[in-house]
Homo-oligomer: A and B are copies of this chain.
Amino acid sequence: MIPTASSSAADALPPISDELLARFSAITGPANALSAPDLLAPFLSEPRDLWPGRTRLVLRPGSVEEISAILALANETKTPVVPQGGNTGLVGGQQPRSEGEIVLSLARLNCVREVDAVGRTLTVEAGVVLAEAQRLAEEAGLFFPLSLGSEGTCQIGGNLSSNAGGTGVLAYGNARELCLGVEAVLPSGEVLHGLRRLKKDNRGYDMRDLLIGSEGTLGVITAAVLKLFPKPAGRAVAYVGLASPEAALDLLGVSERLGGGRLTAFELIAAQGMEFTLRHTPGARDPLGQRHAWYVLMEIASQTSEADASETLEAILGEAFEAGIVEDAAIAQSLGQAKDFWHMRENLSWAQKPEGGSIKHDVSVPVARVPRFLAEAGKAVTAAIPGVRIVAFGHLGDGNIHYNLSQPVGADKAAFLDRWYEINGIVHAIVAELDGSFSAEHGIGQLKREELARTKPAVEMNLMRAIKGVFDPNNILNPGKLI
């Protein structure tokens, strides 16, 4: 386990009392107030096994009114509340840190409030699972482009509070850009009614965007109006082999020029990631005949037709071959094959687990600087840990690289992971030098809270703290996370 500095303060909290537990439980009713260890367990472990959670109580409210009552009581009794969606977060933001904190699960708040096919909006409650939101859009003949590895489990509320990214950002933007309005319960128990379905609305300060990305520290998002898009008439997907990140950047340039708004994904994968995926994914097959140093998975989506998508993709690859940018490319010949290609990308995250300890980075730099970042970081981490295996992959079109480092073969896992923050420091220094961000799409949570406080200019940190004080004067909402 990597050290988490914020746990000490939470450790000092006494467990919540039986009396308080009963008062909270009365709000949701006993069936939705979990305290038996076996029922608590799924809420207390998270995907990275880095932040084991502790709590005496998980509340599963079924309405905004119940959430309002819970927060009002928490505020009155100064009880810390940790909002939790699908529990897929990668930075420990959704984990309670002591038995003095209670978990507020949004899972039961999962109604569809409205589907507006003409205005192309979908209004859902926070607990709706992302894949379900995608399905609802599809059912309305439309498309909701937010797409993440965890989409079968993660929830809209969590997506918004963490301003989730994913593979669709290149063409459609982050979760922030996909949301027109939010409803939220404030720590006081008051409800902010902001479910606006308007494309233009300049009535005062932008509370929506303040809540989005605040990781549940300012308010609990209970519902949102999501933007839907016309469903593409055709898609074309290619797996491309290239010699370098520079070549990938050149291919991106050609793709954006010829593809325009039709370029909907552009994922970069280092050979090491490809190797792990082939090794650990049953039935996985290299789409290309030979190994390459780098791979790109790209997708074109056309509003017009399948033919337009294919022709556009072929035109892009044709020009790239002629210009010597790409070494090899395979175009998916069927929907099944396209899915297989995507599968290769999606399995990257899991394929690292059997290889031992992995030190993670979720960084972004201006797009044009990605090759320089990869070169400099590669040199630095190899100097620090000879034999380290670099599993760099990510959304090149967004300048967002998941710069993951698997331990050297045969190394001691615990000793390797002990160097987490040291290696973070090396990589993040290079990111800072390139005007990048050490937190691109996974958020701050527990993992990067200290780093945020240390690196953000004082003027901005002070504003953030004062805003936190405005919303949550008793610091009951997700303390020890982000701020």
Contacts and interface: CB of A to CB of B under 8 A. Distances in A.
A227 B258 CA distance: 19
A119 B170 CA distance: 12
B440 A364 contact: no
Contacts of A253: 118
Most chain B C-beta atoms within 10 Å of own C-beta, residue among A196, A201, A365: A201
Interface stretch (A96-104, A269-277, A337-345, A463-471): A463-471
Contact of A303 (B198, B214, B259, B463): B259
A196 B437 contact: yes
Most chain B C-beta atoms within 10 Å of own C-beta, residue among A118, A369, A395: A118
B459 A463 contact: no
A202 B440 contact: yes
Contacts of A366: 116, 119, 121, 197-198
B119 A463 contact: no
A398 interface: yes
Given A230-B257, A435-B196, A444 B365 contact: no
A459 B190 contact: yes
A204 B483 contact: yes
Most chain B C-beta atoms within 10 Å of own C-beta, residue among A169, A199, A399, A463: A199
A169 B199 CA distance: 8
Interface stretch (A205-213, A278-286, A319-327, A406-414): A205-213
B464 A204 contact: yes
A380 interface: no
A441 interface: yes
A261 interface: yes
A167 B198 CA distance: 16
Nearest to A483: B204
Contacts of A201: 364, 437, 439-440
A163 interface: yes
A186 interface: yes
Interface in A222-271: 230, 232, 249, 253, 256-262
A464 B209 contact: no
A22 interface: no
A202 B213 contact: yes
Contacts of A296: none
A206 B194 CA distance: 17
21 contacts: A119-B367, A174-B199, A186-B459, A192-B457, A192-B460, A192-B463, A197-B366, A199-B367, A199-B400, A200-B364, A202-B440, A203-B437, A204-B456, A204-B460, A207-B460, A207-B463, A230-B260, A258-B303, A260-B302, A260-B303, A261-B303
Given A200-B395, A203-B444, A467-B470, 17 more contacts: A118-B249, A118-B367, A119-B369, A169-B199, A196-B435, A196-B437, A198-B399, A199-B398, A200-B364, A201-B364, A202-B213, A202-B439, A202-B442, A205-B218, A209-B209, A230-B260, A258-B304
